[in-house]
């Protein structure tokens, strides 16, 4: 495969994110499920997009009864309600970039894919949400093939974690960086223009390493791992930040680098929030981010 270059991410306590310019705020859309606990899903997406300088609008695909300890119920939104929301935002707002998260089932995936083809946003980021931080299933098993066939080929980038990568490829969950590189070739074959395989589940590693594969290049983004149980919504937050930075004119590698910086600092400051009794959320509006806004 293409030789991998390494892009070290800024120190956890440093803030190198670009300043926000309100007069040119781009509009971004999140299509995802609602998390009643506010740590993941639509709520995390809007926080991350706002904190990184974009205007966020939303389409809700499912309502989850959820807190820091788990998911107790999932209520998919009726298909015509999902379609109506999509038509409402796309026919009025100048949406530059779209992030897709939890889609719940095959029929919702098909509706979203149809609308993405109809409205053709400039950037499409897909976070193939399948399992919550608590371990609860968020996507029906039967819907994985629909996701692979209808939506992933439309994406500029997909951002699976290691268990999601395993579900998409049929491989076992990687236990090393070498196995990550082996898996990412299969992920590329699904048709997305690029793949960011997140290595946060390799907990034996001192760093949290994410591997980005573009058509002609590969980059490893590495950041010091911060010891905390408060990692609820990390995948939602990272993919939303990438979407925001793409909408602001950054290329894919720059957007991923900035997104990785943002999530690293949000995790570093997560313990300051003290939310819930389980896996708490990251700190989207962390104190060290005072130069943004």
> Among this protein's residues, is 235 annotated catalytic?
yes
User: pLDDT tens, 186-239?
Assistant: 999 999 999 999 986 575 566 778 888 887 778 888 888 777 888 899 999 999
- Active-site option among 53, 99, 236, 260: 236
User: pLDDT tens, 20-33?
Assistant: 554 579 999 999 99
- Active-site option among 53, 235, 259, 280: 235
Which range is most confident: 11-15, 86-90, 287-291? 86-90
Which fold is adopted by the domain 27-272? 3.40.1190
Q: Is pLDDT of 136 > 50?
A: yes
> Among this protein's residues, is 233 annotated catalytic?
yes
pLDDT at 194: 96
Q: What is the largest CA-CA distance in the chain?
A: 48
Exposed/middle/buried for residue 108 (C-beta within 10 Å: 0-12, 13-18, 19+): buried
pLDDT at 293: 34
More confident residue, 152 or 12: 152
> Among this protein's residues, is 236 annotated catalytic?
yes
pLDDT at 270: 87
- Active-site option among 234, 237, 243, 264: 234
- Active-site option among 146, 231, 243, 264: 231
Quote the CA–CA distance of 211 and 196 in Å, as a whole number. Answer: 6
pLDDT at 20: 54
Quote the CA–CA distance of 76 and 95 in Å, as a whole number. Answer: 24
More confident residue, 170 or 142: 170
- Active-site option among 198, 243, 268, 280: 198
Strands lying side by side in the sheet with 195-198: 4-8, 218-224, 207-213, 195-198, 157-158, 123-126, 95-100, 27-35, 55-67, 70-76
Quote the CA–CA distance of 33 and 77 in Å, as a whole number. Answer: 9
> Among this protein's residues, is 199 annotated catalytic?
no
């Amino acid at each position: 495969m293409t030789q991998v270059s390494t892009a070290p991410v800024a120190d956890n306590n440093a803030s190198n994110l670009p300043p926000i310019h309100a007069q040119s705020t781009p509009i971004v859309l999140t299509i995802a499920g609602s998390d009643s606990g506010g740590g993941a899903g639509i709520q995390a997406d809007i926080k991350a997009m706002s904190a990184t300088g974009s205007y966020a609008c939303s389409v809700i695909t499912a309502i989850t009864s959820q807190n820091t300890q788990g998911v107790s119920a999932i209520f998919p939104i009726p298909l015509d309600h999902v379609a109506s929301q999509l038509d409402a935002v796309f026919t009025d707002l100048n949406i530059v970039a779209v992030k897709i998260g939890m889609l719940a089932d095959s029929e919702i995936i098909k509706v979203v894919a149809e609308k993405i083809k109809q409205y053709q946003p400039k950037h499409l980021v897909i976070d193939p949400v399948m399992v919550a931080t608590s371990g609860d299933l968020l996507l029906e098993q039967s819907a994985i093939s629909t996701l692979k066939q209808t939506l992933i080929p439309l994406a500029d980038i997909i951002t699976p974690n290691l268990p999601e990568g395993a579900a998409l490829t049929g491989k076992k969950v990687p236990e090393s960086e070498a196995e990550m590189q082996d898996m990412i070739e299969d992920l590329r074959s699904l048709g997305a223009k690029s793949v960011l395989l997140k290595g946060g589940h390799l907990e034996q590693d001192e760093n949290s390493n994410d591997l980005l594969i573009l058509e002609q290049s590969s980059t490893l983004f590495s950041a010091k791992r911060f010891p905390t149980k408060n990692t609820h919504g990390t995948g939602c937050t990272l993919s939303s930040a990438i979407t925001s930075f793409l909408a602001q004119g950054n290329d894919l590698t720059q957007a991923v680098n900035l997104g990785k910086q943002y999530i690293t600092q949000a995790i570093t400051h997560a313990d300051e929030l003290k939310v819930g009794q389980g896996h708490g959320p990251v700190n989207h509006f962390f104190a060290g981010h005072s130069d943004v806004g």
